[in-house]
Amino acid sequence: MILGPADVKGDVSRSADVVIIGSGAGGGPIARELAGEGHKVVVLEEGGYFTREDFNLNPADSYMKMYRDAGQTITLGVPFILLPLGRTVGGTTTINSGTALRMLRPILKKWHLTHGLTDITEEELNLIYGHLEEFLFVKRADPEVAGKVATTFLAGAEKLGLSSGWLPRNAKECEGFGSCAFGCPSGSKQSVDVSFIPDAVKSGAEIYTRCRADAIRVKDGRAVGVSGHFVDPATGRPDGRNIEVDAAVTVLAAGAIYSPYFLLKQGLANSSGQVGRNLQIHPATQTVALFDEPLGPPKGIPQSSYVDEFKGEGIMLEGGTVPPEIHSLALPFAGKSNASLMTSYPNMGIFGGMVSDSDSWGRVVDLHRPGYRPGMLYMLRGRDVGKAKAATVLMAEIWFAAGAKKVFTPFAGHYELSGKRDLNRLERSRVRATDLFGMSAYHPLGTCRMGGDPEWSVVKHTCETWDLEDLYICDGSVIPSSPGVNPQLTIMAMAMRCAGFIDDRLAAAS
Ligand SMILES: Cc1cc2nc3c(=O)[nH]c(=O)nc-3n(C[C@H](O)[C@H](O)[C@H](O)COP(=O)(O)OP(=O)(O)OC[C@H]3O[C@@H](n4cnc5c(N)ncnc54)[C@H](O)[C@@H]3O)c2cc1C
C-alpha cells in the first residue's frame, strides 16, 4: 500500500520487521527484497508519490514537486555547485537520467586495498549487477531515438578517434521525450518508483509518503524503530500527526546528504567522527555548442552517449540535453546576450563532463538551522580543477570536430570559443576553482562510508553501523569512494547485499 496523508487518520503506530527511511536507490531495493521474503516492511518517505500523469514535461512543475527545495540545493564553498536532490517516492531515481553503469574494476580493487572491503568480491558484485540489469531492462540507448545532439557529438568523437558509445540505460522502449530529469512521461525509465516499489507493495510493504522520519529510537544500544511526522503537501510543514514504528531492524536510506545530517542531528553512530565527512559529488562542467543547422534539442534521450577515453584519469563525458528554460542557465551570459543566444536554441547542443573527485574536500554538517536543512560544504581543489578544465577542453575539441561554429564554456575569460586558437588559449591557461561558473553535480557519496575499520568508517561491509546494533545505512552515503561512473546501479547493488544480511539477521532471530 502507498499511503499519503489523506489516507491516514490521526497518529499512526505500527510494528514491523524492518522500517526503512527513504525510498530511493538504497531504500527501494531493500524494501522489495525483504517484503518479497515475507518480512513486514514499513517505508517512510518524505516526498510525495507521483505517477505518469504527473510527469507533464513541465520542468518548473517537477522542480517544485519532486526536487528538494525546488532543485535549488547548492554546496557552499568555491565554486558554488548546484547539487539537486530528488524528494519523492523513488528518491532521486525518479528524476534521474537513467544511465545504469557498473563501477569501474580498479575502484573495487581500491575499496579492497584502501577501505578493507575484501568481503565485497568481484564475482558477487557482477552477479548482482547482472540480476539488476535484467530486472531493470538495462540496454544501450537506441541511436534511432537518441536524437541529433548525441549523434553529432559522437560523430565528432569518432573523427578524433576517441573511445565513445551509447550508454546503458534502465529504460524499456524509450520514446525519447527528452524529459528524464522531470519524471518519465512514458513510464519507460525503470526508476525505483516503477520497478522496486510496486513489487514491494505487492508483497505487502506499507509506504507512508509525505512522512518525515525525525529520530531513530534506541534502546540498550540497539536501534528499535523510528518516530516521525506527516507533512502538509501544500506548506511542507508538519500537519500535526505523528508516526511511530517499532521494528527489529532499522534502515537509514535518506541519501548521502540527509543520512549523515539525520545522524548528526541525533548524535548517533559517530564514534569514528566520520559521519558527514568524505563528501564526494562528481562535479560536472558543461559545454554548449552552436551550429549552423538545427540539432533539434531537447527531443531524444537527454543522456544517451558517452566518451570514456580518459575515464582512468577521472574524466567521463556524458550527454545532457535539457529543455530551453534549463538550457539558458547553462549559458555563461545573462540578460540580453542570454536572450539573443537562446533564439538559436534549436541549433545548440549541450554535453557534460563529470570529474571523479580525488583532491577536493567536502563535508555535510549540521548548521543548527531551523527546519530540516543540512550544510553542504565543498571545495573544488587540486587536480580536480585541472580535470574539470581537461573535460571542458575535450568537449570543445569534439564539438569543433563535429562542425560547431562556437562553443561556450564555464571558465571565466574563456566563455566563448570561436575556434582552435581560443581553445588553445583555454588549454594553456592556468585555471583556478574561482574561474568556474555554474558547475553542477548529481552524485553525492561517501558521507557514512563503509569500511573494514571502525575508526575510519561508519558501517561494516554489511551496511550495519559499527556503533548501533540493528541500525543499517544503505544509500549513496556508504559508497566509500567515487565509483568513476554514475552510481545508481552500485548503490542498488549494495542495497541488494544489505537486504541479504538483514534477511539472515531476521532469520537468526526467529
Ligand atoms: C538530475 C539527476 C540525474 C541523475 N542521473 C543519474 C543517472 O543517469 N545515473 C545514475 O546512476 N545516477 C544518476 N543520478 C544520481 C542517482 O539518482 C542517485 O545517486 C541515487 O538516486 C541516490 O540514491 P540514494 O538512495 O542515496 O538517495 P535518493 O535516491 O535521493 O533517496 C533518498 C530518499 O530519502 C528521502 N528522505 C530524506 N530524508 C528523509 C526523512 N527524514 N524521512 C523520510 N524520507 C527521507 C528523500 O526524500 C529521498 O526520496 C542523478 C541525479 C540527479 C539529481
Atom of ligand 1 nearest to the CA of 83: 53
Q: What is the DSSP letter of 444?
A: -
pLDDT tens digits for range 117-127: 999 999 999 99
What is the structure's pLDDT at 107? 95
Mode of pairing for the β-strands spanning 416-417 and 406-408:
antiparallel
CA of 487, closest atom in ligand 1: 11
**Among 316, 442, 477, which is best to mutate for testing ligand 1, by the most ligand atoms less than 8 A from CB?**
442
Q: Give 152 Cα–ligand 1 centroid separation in angstroms.
A: 30
Whose grid coordinates read 544480511?
A: 501
Q: Indicate if ligand 1 lies below 6 Å from the C-beta of 302.
A: no
Given CA atoms 289, 70, 262, 370 in this order, what sign does their dihedral have? positive
Q: How far apart are CA 158 and CA 245, in angstroms?
A: 56
CA distance to 298, 415, 417, 485, 492, per residue, from 321 (Å): 6, 19, 20, 18, 26
Q: Tell me if the bond preceding 79 is cis, omega within 30° of 0.
A: yes
Per annotation, catalytic residue among 39, 229, 327, 443? 443
- The response to whether residue 197 sits with its C-beta less than 6 Å from ligand 1 reads no
> What are the residue ranges spanned by the domains of the chain?
2-50+101-135+193-273+447-509, 140-181+281-440
Q: Which of 96, 265, 305 gets mutated to test ligand 1 (max ligand atoms within 8 A of its CB)?
A: 96
Q: What pLDDT, on the 0 to 100 scale, is given for residue 438?
A: 86
Distance separating alpha carbons of residues 264 and 257, to the nearest angstrom: 11
Chain position carrying cell 534506541: 218
Looking at 232-333, which runs of residues are DSSP E strands? 238-252, 284-290, 305-307, 315-319
CA distance linking residue 91 with residue 89, whole number of Å: 5
Cβ(318) – ligand 1 distance below 6 Å? no
Q: Is the peptide bond before 84 cis (omega within 30 degrees of 0)?
A: no
443 is catalytic: yes
Phi, psi of 241 (to 5 degrees): -110, 145
Q: Where are the beta strands (DSSP E) in 336-466?
A: 348-355, 361-365, 375-379, 406-408, 416-417, 439-440
pLDDT < 70: residue spans in the chain: none
Give distance in angstroms: CA of 330 to centre of ligand 1.
Answer: 22
Burial of 235 from C-beta contacts in 10 A (0-12 / 13-18 / 19+): exposed
Query: Which atom of ligand 1 is found nearest the CA of 485?
Result: 11
Is 168 close to ligand 1, i.e. is its CB under 6 Å away? no
Residue 62: CB within 6 Å of ligand 1?
no
Ligand 1 site-directed mutation target among 93, 192, 321, 326, most atoms within 8 Å of CB = 93
163-176: string of b/e by CB count within 10 Å (b at 16+)?
Answer: ebbbbbbbbbebeb
Please identify, by atom number, the ligand 1 atom nearest to the C-alpha of residue 28.
25
Taking the C-alpha atoms of residue 306 and residue 321, their distance in angstroms, rounded to an integer, is 13
Residue 91 Cα: closest atom of ligand 1: 49
Residue 221 CA to residue 424 CA, distance in Å, equals: 60
- CA distances 445 to 161, 210, 257, 378, 475, Å, are 33, 24, 8, 12, 8
**Of the candidates 369, 396, 391, 372, the residue with the CA atom closest to the CA atom of residue 380:** 391
Atom in ligand 1 nearest the alpha carbon of residue 89: 49
Compute, in angstroms, the gap from residue 487 CA to the centroid of ligand 1. 10
Beta-strand relationship, 206-208 and 41-44: parallel
What 3-state DSSP class applies to 42?
Answer: strand
Cβ(272) to ligand 1 under 6 A?
no
304 lines ligand 1 (CB under 6 A): no
Which of 321, 440, 488, 489 for mutating ligand 1's site (highest number of atoms within 8 Å of CB)?
A: 488
Amino acid letter, residue 130: G
Predicted local distance difference test score (pLDDT) of residue 371 = 85
CA distance 107 to 329: 33
Distance 24 CA to ligand 1 centre (A): 5
The finding on whether 44 has its CB within 6 A of some atom of ligand 1 is yes
pLDDT in tens, 41-74: 999 999 999 999 999 889 999 999 999 999 999 9
Please tell me whether residue 35 adopts helix, strand or coil conformation: helix
For the packed helices 122-135 and 488-509, what is the interaxial angle rounded to 10 degrees? 100
Helix (H, G, I), strand (E, B) or coil at 189: strand
CATH code for residues 2-50+101-135+193-273+447-509: 3.50.50.60
User: Helix (H, G, I), strand (E, B), or coil: what is residue 99?
Assistant: strand
Q: What pLDDT is attached to residue 369? A: 87
Distance 427 CA to ligand 1 centre (A): 35
| Long-range contact pairs involving 61-64 (C-beta distance under 8 Å, separation at least 24) | 61/182, 62/95, 62/181, 62/182, 62/183, 63/182
424 alpha carbon – ligand 1 mean position (Å): 38
